[in-house]
Homo-oligomer: A and B are copies of this chain.
């Protein structure tokens, strides 16, 4: 052991290679090694070679915590989803993560659907990491949450919805428009007596309201609403159809708040010998990958979730790099996918 080492007090760190080690080995200053690694076209070929050499020989991997601390740029983006089990959002997370990764960013994932108290903690733990951006599934409604996010100064993008008062950036679509357009779509097919099967979900509730309104405006009977609570399962869809048959047997079209519920309705219809779409038309929401290949193929509402993820990543990266993002609000719209079930 050299006396330089001995004269120092015991090292605290993790024992991993540091930039200093690399620099020493290359015979250059640490900052030069840093530049060779991070901005290679700002150094001479000679220096670059020496440093690359030292990196290869040591297996050095830069410590991004230290880099982030020094530069105030963490290269981390946080995303909040209600739950990773809700597959509608996973296409968005997939493209978000993928776009971020190509831009040199990493994704931290938080789940909010457990409880309001945990959402509060989640936000705190996210802000504590000083991410360069925050992706939110949905709109942040809680006043405290909005205040905290605003106070943190971290760029935020809210998604999967529209609001006149976004915290910062916004990429979504109008749930009210969907409710209305689906109502028109079904009424144009000659349907007159409607049911709506919905999970407890604030965005779905807005689709319901607009759907009811459009139906009422045309003078049709009131929409029969079945609320399945928190359960978004296929089974709830099956049970809902039974409820409908029992309490409102004259229904001729059912709009569901998710594809899975719609699949449940169709499954039970088959069991009960009810023809879809002849006797009852069924519409889903989400267009999860396989519903178009079922029999009958499910008619549904498609959201371009992949696009939401990609655009959100781009927004966040641009902001992190100090660019001015414009526009700051994008309506990605939706499309009604007409297949066999309606």
Asked if B118 and A101 sit within 8 Å, CB to CB, the answer is: yes
Min CB distance A65 to B, Å, is: 5
Comparing A25-33, A68-76, A155-163, the segment that makes contact with chain B is: A68-76
Asked if B15 and A61 sit within 8 Å, CB to CB, the answer is: no
Asked if B128 and A61 sit within 8 Å, CB to CB, the answer is: yes
Asked if B91 and A85 sit within 8 Å, CB to CB, the answer is: yes
Asked if B260 and A65 sit within 8 Å, CB to CB, the answer is: no
With A65-B74, A234-B294 given, is the CB distance from A90 to B94 under 8 Å? Answer: no
Partner among B66, B98, B104, B153 whose Cβ is within 8 Å of the Cβ of A114? B98
- The residue of chain B having its C-beta at the shortest distance from the C-beta of A238 within the complex is B293
Confirm or deny: A301 has a beta carbon within 8 angstroms of a beta carbon on chain B.
no
Asked if A290 and B234 sit within 8 Å, CB to CB, the answer is: yes
Partner among B125, B130, B238, B271 whose Cβ is within 8 Å of the Cβ of A65? B130
Confirm or deny: A327 has a beta carbon within 8 angstroms of a beta carbon on chain B.
no
Asked if B84 and A93 sit within 8 Å, CB to CB, the answer is: yes
A101–B121 Cα distance when bound, in Å, is 9
Comparing A105-113, A206-214, A222-230, A279-287, the segment that makes contact with chain B is: A105-113
Confirm or deny: A250 has a beta carbon within 8 angstroms of a beta carbon on chain B.
no
- The residue of chain B having its C-beta at the shortest distance from the C-beta of A86 within the complex is B90
Asked if A129 and B106 sit within 8 Å, CB to CB, the answer is: yes
CB-CB < 8 A to A34: which residues of B?
Answer: none
A93–B79 Cα distance when bound, in Å, is 14
Comparing A262-270, A318-326, A330-338, the segment that makes contact with chain B is: A262-270
- The residue of chain B having its C-beta at the shortest distance from the C-beta of A90 within the complex is B84
Partner among B66, B76, B98, B260 whose Cβ is within 8 Å of the Cβ of A111? B98
Min CB distance A49 to B, Å, is: 20
CB-CB < 8 A to A118: which residues of B?
Answer: 101
Given A65-B68, A65-B129, A85-B94, 16 additional A-B pairs, CB 8 A: A12-B72, A59-B148, A61-B124, A61-B127, A62-B128, A64-B130, A65-B69, A84-B97, A94-B111, A97-B111, A98-B111, A101-B121, A106-B110, A234-B289, A267-B293, A267-B294
Could you give 27 example pairs across A and B, Cβ below 8 Å?
Answer: A14-B130, A14-B153, A15-B153, A16-B130, A59-B148, A64-B125, A65-B68, A65-B129, A66-B69, A76-B108, A84-B84, A85-B94, A90-B90, A94-B111, A101-B110, A101-B122, A106-B108, A107-B108, A107-B110, A108-B109, A109-B109, A233-B293, A234-B294, A235-B293, A264-B290, A267-B295, A271-B295
